[in-house]
Amino acid sequence: MYVNDIPVGYISLRTKIDNQWKKWSGNFYYVIRISERKKGYGNKILELALDEFKKLDFKEIYGQSSAGNITSAKVIENNGGILLEEVDGTRYYKIELQ
């Protein structure tokens, strides 16, 4: 993701995952440049990724965040993330796509 020709972050989409990927990352992971955090870019980049998953006919995707990473948890929850469980400091989410 670029804003005013400056890279602010990136997101990676996994179209095939197994239980190991569900445990360690899920269908996506993203990074926002430290200087650009708390500006809404995480929400936007995940929103755009969800649109791509919809185009690929996904009905649901999985993601996770560290329990201590409140910002990442909020990004997932703001994009429809449903908390499935928290295990050993990791929060596991499902996002249902319509």
Q: What is the CATH number of domain 2-96?
A: 3.40.630.30
Residue 81, phi-psi category: left (phi > 0), alpha (psi -120 to 50), beta (remainder): beta
Q: What are the structural domain ranges in the chain?
A: 2-96
Distance CA 75, CA 16 (A): 22
Which DSSP state fits 26? B
21: its two tokens: 């990927």
Tens of each residue's pLDDT in the chain, 98 residues: 999 999 999 999 999 999 888 888 899 999 999 999 999 999 999 999 999 999 999 999 999 999 999 999 999 999 999 999 999 999 999 999 98
pTM exceeds cut of 0.85: yes
* Angle (deg, nearest 10), helices 41-55 and 70-78: 40
